[in-house]
């Protein structure tokens, strides 16, 4: 499916941006130079007839992304949390992509529930509302359980969403391969692997049984987190394309006016949402990877309620420690240690200069400290970071893509609540606590205990395993010796053959 037919899909992407007016909005937002504007106009205008029309009632950029499909909508959701990158006005427009998309009909939703759960709708729910939220992949209905009368949220996948996403991701694969062919320097960033990672995440999001399992695990991990709670999974009313959760009542975290009217402290909320994310990522290695405002509410008692668990991130314990050391080094402005951690973890090729890398990191980190948060340009910072990674040959680490992306999203949520938030000051206590728990003497003792338990568990088998390893090594050595002897014999026979040939020529020459 990743053939040249995707050229039309990608051309249609550009044409849709031109036809909807989104191209001009983006060029204005980034203050594009006149030459670039002229080039975009000359190329885009004749091809705009290829573009999709979209919903004229929507602003240009959301209109284009919505017309292009769910993968593009997901991209827009991320940008909606970054007013520092796209501007306040465009970020506000993009928020309609989070949970205010056109719903599919109620009759289709009822049929989907009955088909998936195998019972008539009245036997499952005594009440079942019109859609209350519609996003790129699914929509949500408010309902009441027939058995207990409890209010619940019923999430249902959009009809045909699997095929639509497959088409979008297919075009992304083609674009990644095309970029790698035309621009070999881009292979360092491994665009094809990035798309593959995104593809895997999306496939998981399209099976609501996996989302229900993620919600259950996440709830168990965070049960003791103050000021944070999750809706309960209703397993008996959930299946592959339908998931039922307890109803979450609260104010959307994207509605600052409503938060203020309810008396919530937005500065404290901004700090809490950032610290909760870091705690989940570092402490548990399992975190909500789609924490935009559309998936967060604030309850009347001030608790943050998270929902929509289709995209969850997981990082192993070793990577968590590396990530924490890097963050801690930046917080302490110990750039030498940050550089050493990059080398120790293999993030930077060993043939590069660690001191030079530390100086480059200092140039990235120093502008962050001692400045008002509103004066820090994340766009310029990210641009410089890209230059640094390119110069030192760092490759994109696919296992960290989701963590890095979510960090960007959560930072955007925190800034939307408090534009003056100092990200590093808020992060410091969480990171320092993790460092104390996992990188000190207590952590060393805990690691030794784990190692001892593993050795004890395999103790009875160790002699057999060692014997097998030694026998295998001896067999490999014998095989190597045999190959070497055969090689020397071959070279010897070849030498004899060549010598014999020259001898024969000499005899013939003197006759």
Could you read off the pLDDT tens digit of each residue along the chain, which spans 511 residues? Answer: 555 666 777 778 888 888 888 888 877 766 667 776 777 777 667 777 778 888 888 888 888 888 888 778 877 776 675 665 566 778 777 877 766 678 999 999 999 999 999 999 999 999 999 999 888 789 999 999 999 999 999 999 999 888 888 888 888 788 778 767 766 655 655 677 767 776 777 777 889 999 999 999 999 999 999 999 999 999 999 999 999 999 999 999 989 999 999 999 999 999 999 999 999 999 999 999 888 888 899 999 999 999 989 888 888 888 888 888 887 887 788 989 988 988 888 888 888 899 998 998 888 778 766 666 555 544 455 555 556 766 777 765 656 666 777 787 888 888 889 988 877 788 889 888 888 888 766 666 766 776 776 667 666 776 776 777 777 777 776 666 666 555 544 444 333 333 333 333 333 333 3
Q: What is the pLDDT of residue 506?
A: 35
Q: Pinpoint the alpha helices (H) of 81-160.
A: 83-86, 88-94, 96-99, 106-117, 121-124
Query: Both tokens of residue 337?
Result: 């240690």
Phi, psi (5° rounding) for residue 131? -60, 135
**Collapsed DSSP state (helix, strand, coil) of residue 120:** coil
CA–CA separation, 452 and 466 (whole Å) = 17
Q: What is the pLDDT of residue 497?
A: 38
Catalytic option among 290, 308, 353, 372: 290
Strands 296-298 and 304-306: antiparallel
Q: What is the pLDDT of residue 7?
A: 74
CA–CA separation, 300 and 259 (whole Å) = 10
> What burial class does residue 107 get, using C-beta atoms within 10 Å of its C-beta: 0-12 exposed, 13-18 middle, 19+ buried?
exposed
Per-residue pLDDT reduced to its tens digit, 150-194? 999 999 999 988 888 888 888 878 877 876 776 665 565 567 776
Measured CA to CA in angstroms, residue 102 lies from 75, 90, 253, 318, 475 at distances of 18, 20, 21, 43, 67
CA–CA separation, 338 and 348 (whole Å) = 12
Residue in the block written with tokens 């529930």: 113
How many beta carbons lie within 10 A of that of residue 389, not counting itself? Answer: 17
- Strands across the sheet with 296-298, in order? 228-229, 304-306, 296-298, 251-252
Is 290 an annotated catalytic residue? yes
Each domain of the chain, given as residue ranges in start order, spans 5-98, 251-439, 461-510
Model-level pTM?
0.71
CA–CA separation, 122 and 114 (whole Å) = 10
Report the sign of the C-alpha dihedral through residues 380, 386, 389, 391, in that order: negative
CA–CA separation, 235 and 504 (whole Å) = 89
Q: What is the pLDDT of residue 176?
A: 78
């Amino acid at each position: 499916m990743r053939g040249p037919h995707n050229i039309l899909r990608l051309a249609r992407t550009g044409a849709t941006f031109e036809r909807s007016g989104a191209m001009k909005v983006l060029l204005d937002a980034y203050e594009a130079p006149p030459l670039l504007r002229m080039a975009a106009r000359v190329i885009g205008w004749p091809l705009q007839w290829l573009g999709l029309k979209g919903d004229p009632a929507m602003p240009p950029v959301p209109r284009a992304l919505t017309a292009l499909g769910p993968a593009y909508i997901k991209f827009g959701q991320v940008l909606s949390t970054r007013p520092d990158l796209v501007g306040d006005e465009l970020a506000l427009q993009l928020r309609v992509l989070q949970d205010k998309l056109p719903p599919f009909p109620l009759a289709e939703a009822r049929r989907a529930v009955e088909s998936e759960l195998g019972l008539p709708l009245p036997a499952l729910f005594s009440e079942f509302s019109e859609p209350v939220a519609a996003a790129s992949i699914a929509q949500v209905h408010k309902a009441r359980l027939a058995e207990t009368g409890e209010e619940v949220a019923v999430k249902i996948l959009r009809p045909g969403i699997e095929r639509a996403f497959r088409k979008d991701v297919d075009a992304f694969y083609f674009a990644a391969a095309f970029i790698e062919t035309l621009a070999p320097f881009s292979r360092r960033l491994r665009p094809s692997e990035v798309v593959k990672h995104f593809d895997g995440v999306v496939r998981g999001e399209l099976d609501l049984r996996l989302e229900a399992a993620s919600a259950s695990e996440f709830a168990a991990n965070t049960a003791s987190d103050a000021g944070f709670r999750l809706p309960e999974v209703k397993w008996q009313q959930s299946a592959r394309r339908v998931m039922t959760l307890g109803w979450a009542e609260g104010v959307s975290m994207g509605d600052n006016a409503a938060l203020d009217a309810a008396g919530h402290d937005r500065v404290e909320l901004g700090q809490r949402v950032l610290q909760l994310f870091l705690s989940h990522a570092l402490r548990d290695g399992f975190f909500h990877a789609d924490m935009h405002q559309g998936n967060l509410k604030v309850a009347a008692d001030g608790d943050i309620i998270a929902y929509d668990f289709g995209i969850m991130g997981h990082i192993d314990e070793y990577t968590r420690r590396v990530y924490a050391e890097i963050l801690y080094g930046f917080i302490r402005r110990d750039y030498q240690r940050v550089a050493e951690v990059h080398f120790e973890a293999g993030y930077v090729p060993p043939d590069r200069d660690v001191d030079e890398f530390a100086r480059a990191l200092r140039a990235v980190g120093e502008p962050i400290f001692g400045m008002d948060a509103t004066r820090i340009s994340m766009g310029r910072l990210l641009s410089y970071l890209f230059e640094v990674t390119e110069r030192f040959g760092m490759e994109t680490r696919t296992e960290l893509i989701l963590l890095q992306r979510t960090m960007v999203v959560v930072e955007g949520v925190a800034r939307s609540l408090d534009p003056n938030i100092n990200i590093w000051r808020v992060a410091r206590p969480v990171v320092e606590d993790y460092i104390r728990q996992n990188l000190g003497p207590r952590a060393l003792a805990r690691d030794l205990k784990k190692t001892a338990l593993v050795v004890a568990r395999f103790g009875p088998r160790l002699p057999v395993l060692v014997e097998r390893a030694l026998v295998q090594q001896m067999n490999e050595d014998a095989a190597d010796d045999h190959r070497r002897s055969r090689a020397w014999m071959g070279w010897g026979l070849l030498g004899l053959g060549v010598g014999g040939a020259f001898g024969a020529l000499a005899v013939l020459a003197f006759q």
